[in-house]
Amino acid sequence: FGPCGGCLWQNLDYARQLEAKAAQVRDCLVRLGGIEDPPLRAALPAPAPYGYRNKMEFSFADRAWDEPDSRFGVGLHARGRFDKVVNNTECHIAPAWMTEVLNSVRELALASGLPPSEMRTHGGFFRFLVLRDGRHTGERMAHLITWPAAPGSIEERSVDEILGAVAARHPELTSLLHGTTGSKSSVAYCESWRTVHGLPVIHERLLDHVFEIGPNTFFQTNSQQAERLFNLALELAGPKVGLAWDLYCGVGALTLPLARQANHVVGAELIGASIEAARANATRNGVTNVEFVAIDMKEALSESGLVDRDGTLVSGRPDLVLVDPPRDGMHADVTAGLIRLAPPRIVYVSCNPGTLARDAARLAEGGYRMDVAVPVDMFPQTAHVEMVARFIVG
Ligand SMILES: C[S@@+](CC[C@H](N)C(=O)[O-])C[C@H]1O[C@@H](n2cnc3c(N)ncnc32)[C@H](O)[C@@H]1O
């Protein structure tokens, strides 16, 4: 797989990848978590080690890897390089349609004469191409992100032409969007967007619930394995409880199935748009025993429960807490808040065993013990490993 920085483990047999990930998790729990003999179950393999991703983010750059004359590239970053991309013509962790659309966009964007992003000066025009797949619904999105363009400008008309041609070549695309961002960040996030062709969103179905996915929505990137991850988290959550919390809930992908295992569930999440989407997702799926709060988790826990941004109590002490924080893990105020509220069970879904292990050590100081931990392979061919762990009191 040469210089592409997208996935570095393709040269390792899949069984060896799983072993290495399990060893990585064990090592984190022992060294960072201070757990002498971690209660590890066997790693949960991915059902499809290739073609599994439902989202790919490709970057444009004025320097293509190993093509000295090419001033135009769009693909994944070359390994260890922020300023160079590989002109990928195939990618084994994405479904085939994504590289076909990538190849079309590369050809059409190059022919437009408009420049790709200049990584060093933050100039140019084309920034990112984000492709998303409703794996279980058949809906597909192509989202071209550029620097801001004035309405009716040559740039905007060129984007319309490019996306019009892409829609004609790839009729399976249901949503073609033009997003813009003035941010120099290398994250494919847009500040505004418009629908050029088709619908503004796509949908994905996970565990019998249908979720709306917009251009900036966080959503699990491996739909098939996300269902297995969620089933595992729900199994560890145990029998039905009265009140459950789903912290860092995103658009409610785990909150809605959790609602079958509790009389009432409260989901909390930082991004207001995700909370609006979570509420709409609950309504769309007829789930009525959930409520959602937009709040930064580090300010959300009081002595008596979960509060909203005004400090008003939304929910008292829970019987079960499920958390799925970003890579940084939980803020120390969150672990301290949970220890004070003392829910009998905490189920922790993590995309970073290092921060989970740190949080496990903090929870242990507050009287919690990890009784099960399971590495889950969401991202075959890469070094990333997800895991689920359960904490109980005593
Ligand atoms: C790994 S995602 C999990 C989302 C959800 N459980 C799912 O499976 O779709 C982490 C979520 O935490 C949210 N988040 C990040 N920092 C946060 C904070 N300080 N307070 C609350 N939510 C936060 C992110 O916006 C993101 O939606």
- Map out the domains of the chain with their CATH numbers: 14-48+222-393 (3.40.50.150), 55-201 (2.40.50.1070)
Q: What is the edge-to-edge ordering of all strands in the sheet holding 73-75?
A: 73-75, 55-61, 126-133, 140-146, 175-180, 192-198
CB 29 within 8 A of CB 103: no
Q: Is the CB of 220 under 6 A from ligand 1?
A: yes
Give the Cα separation of 299 and 280 in Å (integer).
Answer: 25
Give the Cα separation of 204 and 93 in Å (integer).
Answer: 19
d(CA 321, ligand 1 centre) in Å: 14
Place of tokens 């140019």: 124
Q: Which residues pair with 266 in a beta bridge?
A: 245, 291
Give the Cα separation of 21 and 26 in Å (integer).
Answer: 9
d(CA 65, ligand 1 centre) in Å: 34
Catalytic residue among 4, 7, 249, 351: 351
Question: Active site includes 28?
Answer: no
Per-residue confidence (pLDDT) for residue 336, from 0 to 100: 98
Q: Is the CB of 223 under 6 A from ligand 1?
A: no
Q: Is the CB of 207 under 6 A from ligand 1?
A: no
What tens digit of pLDDT does each residue of 206-234 get?
999 999 999 988 899 999 999 999 999 99
- Phi, psi (rounded to 5 degrees) for 156: -65, -40
Residue ranges for the chain with pLDDT beneath 70: 1
Per-residue confidence (pLDDT) for residue 1, from 0 to 100: 61
SS3 315: strand
